[in-house]
Structure 1
Amino acid sequence: MGAGHDHHGGIAGAAQRHVGRLWAAFALLATLMVVEAVTALATGSLALLSDAGHMFTDVLGIGMALAAITAARRGGRDAQRTFGLYRLEVLAALANALLLSGVAVYVLVEAVRRFGDPHEVTTGPMLVVAVLGLLANLVAFGLLREGAKESINLRGAYLEVLADLLGSVGVIAAALLIMTTGWWWADPLVAVAIGVFILPRTWRLARAALRILVQAAPEHLQVDAVRDRLSAVPGVAEVHDLHLWTLTSGMEVASAHLTMEPAAEVGSVLAAARTALHDDFHIEHATLQVEPGESPGACGRIEW
């Protein structure tokens, strides 16, 4: 029997390439979060408080992303952590989704209560701070957009910033509406709109994180297609015990047992199989066990 192991530089992690942008977004949003929270309490605006709450989760989410990236980098130095601490990124994304859902539910409940008893809001400071929040979120949105395509953790922070950006627009609209018409219900109405917008997106983020944690095959990879491709490798008679999962964002992992044809050469089969996984499916980390054809089932296969 032979075994092959392919371990390329991609295992370094997509999120680590965007640490500088994360720090910049973190500092900017943390400053505006404090300003929004203080102003929301001073003006009595639920919409602005909702926006400040979402900005708090932005800051916390980015902070968790930075902590996960740092821990993942350091975890690779411990010989007992053979996969490092890359799963911390996924756990941070799941915590992000749960926290943001909690904030959204709280705002929705408070907004419903206020519909029956509208509060007077001081619109001048509310409008100024909402504009500042919009500008800050636009900058943060630009900083995180590229990384969100590669990392589930950054995607969580990016979604929060997107929701907060739209929330700032809503707060500005509510302030202008109250200033021009005196319609106080605009404040809780905008708060409800923010909550309704963000909840489905946080649930999708949580679902993506849970798929990784339960080691389901990546949605963009079809297990049968991978099996068929490996079966087509010259010298491979049969493929079994095939497993595909995601370690963390951008790190798909595969393991498989390949039964060889009698005349096949181990080195050639391994090299061709690795190339097929890399070129056709962008799987850069693969552990392959090659077995002689005359001893089927000798590996003691396990059905999971």
Structure 2
Amino acid sequence: MAEGHSHGGGAGRNERRVAIGACLTAGFMTAEIVGGLVSGSLALIADAVHMLTDTVALAFAWAAFRIARRPATWRHSYGFDRVQVLAAFVNGASLFLIAGWIVFEAAQRYGQPVPILAGPMLVIAILGLLVNMLVFYILTTGDRDNLNIRGAILHVMGDILGSVAAIVAALVILWTGWLPIDPILSVVVAILVLRSAWVVARDAVHILLEGAPANLEPEAIRADLIEAVEGVREVDHIHAWSISQERPMITLVAHLSDGAAAAQTVAAIKRRLQDRFGVGHATVEVDYGPTGG
């Protein structure tokens, strides 16, 4: 049996961006919480609470990148990259709780509207939007294929939507005095956040359950190796999964033709898996006997 190892890098850039985003979010969070309490706006309070959880989520994402940098050990032979996936799952799951709280509070407020100071609400919401857009830009300059970064970006996108909703609600209240717009827009934001949270949580669970990456369909791998690698007459027992989105894994059994050199053929299979499917870690077992289940 032979193995190929490839551990992805480049986490330092993502780590720095998440750290900056966490600091900016935490810096404005206090002002928004105070502003929401003073103005009485649920939309602003909801966005402030979301920014509080974002600070925790971004800090968790930063810690995940730090932990992932640790070298592999005999107890954790694949390293700690999957901590990033766990962080993404926790971030996605937390958004469900946030959205549920917003909907509950909105239902209470809709039946019993409270006075809202639309002027302060508008100013704070605009400042919050500017801060959130800056954090969003910083995060999107990182690796957007990284599930941990995607989870952080979705949290900030929820903040941007919350700030926009608070701005719209403040303007409507200033122009018309119609208070129900505040809880209504809060629910709209919660629904949009839920949709994004589902995508990240679903992808994280798929990886945690050792699901196969979308581009590693066993039959396609089998057909490609038989056609592209000389000496391979059959491939079976193909298992594909990933440690993180950037680290797909494959194990398989290659049945070789008589006279095919095992070492050279295995090397050719690994090169093909790397070049064609982006798999840098493959375990290939060689068999010269008949194929079978």
Give the TM-score category using the shorter length. over 0.9
CA offset digits 1:247-284 (Å, max 9, x no partner):
11211111111111111001221121011111111111
Matched, 1:160 2:155: yes
Q: 1:77 to 1:207 in 2, by over 3 A?
A: closer
Partner of 2:202: 207
Matched, 1:125 2:91: no
Partner of 2:4: 6
Q: What is the TM-score of this pair, normalised by structure 2?
A: 0.95
Q: Distance in 1 between matches of 2:166 and 2:10?
A: 34
Q: Distance in 1 between matches of 2:135 and 2:217?
A: 35
Q: Distance in 2 between matches of 1:49 and 1:71?
A: 33
**1:238 Cα shift?**
1.6
Q: 1:166 to 1:226 in 2, by over 3 A?
A: same
CA offset digits 1:2-53 (Å, max 9, x no partner):
x332223xx2345443111111111101111121112112221100011112
**1:62 Cα shift?**
1.2
Partner of 1:256: 252
Q: Distance in 2 between matches of 1:189 and 1:205?
A: 25
CA contact (8 A) 2:239 2:252 kept: yes
Match of 1:94 among 83, 89, 94: 89
Determine helix, strand or coil for the equivalent of 1:289: strand
Matched, 1:224 2:193: no
Q: Distance in 2 between matches of 1:255 and 1:101?
A: 36
Matched, 1:195 2:193: no
1:286 aligned partner, one-letter code:
A
Partner of 2:65: 69
CA contact (8 A) 2:222 2:234 kept: no
CA offset digits 1:130-174 (Å, max 9, x no partner):
111101111111111143522101101101111211211111111
Match of 1:234 among 230, 243, 252: 230
Determine helix, strand or coil for the equivalent of 2:69: helix
Q: Distance in 1 between matches of 2:129 and 2:164?
A: 7
Q: 1:184 to 1:103 in 2, by over 3 A?
A: same
Matched, 1:277 2:273: yes
Structure 1: gaps of 5 or more residues: none
Determine helix, strand or coil for the equivalent of 1:147: coil
**1:294 Cα shift?**
3.2
Q: 1:39 to 1:67 in 2, by over 3 A?
A: same
1:162 aligned partner, one-letter code:
M
CA offset digits 1:165-215 (Å, max 9, x no partner):
121111111111111211111111111111011111111111101100111
Partner of 1:24: 20
Q: 1:146 to 1:288 in 2, by over 3 A?
A: farther
Q: Distance in 2 between matches of 1:295 and 1:98?
A: 48
Determine helix, strand or coil for the equivalent of 2:179: coil
CA offset digits 1:42-81 (Å, max 9, x no partner):
221100011112212222221111111111212x253321
Q: Distance in 1 between matches of 2:88 and 2:10?
A: 14
Partner of 1:137: 132
Greater displacement, 203-212 / 121-130: 121-130
Determine helix, strand or coil for the equivalent of 1:286: strand
Q: Distance in 2 between matches of 1:126 and 1:148?
A: 34
CA contact (8 A) 1:241 1:256 kept: yes
CA contact (8 A) 1:13 1:251 kept: no
2:226 aligned partner, one-letter code:
S
1:56 aligned partner, one-letter code:
L
Partner of 1:107: 102
Partner of 1:39: 35
Determine helix, strand or coil for the equivalent of 1:226: helix
Q: Distance in 2 between matches of 1:58 and 1:82?
A: 32
Q: Distance in 1 between matches of 2:86 and 2:178?
A: 42
CA contact (8 A) 1:239 1:258 kept: yes
Mapping for residues 80-91 of structure 1, pairs under 5 Å: 80-91=75-86
Q: Distance in 1 between matches of 2:30 and 2:42?
A: 15
- The size of the alignment, in residue pairs, is 292
Q: 1:84 to 1:77 in 2, by over 3 A?
A: closer
RMSD: 1.6
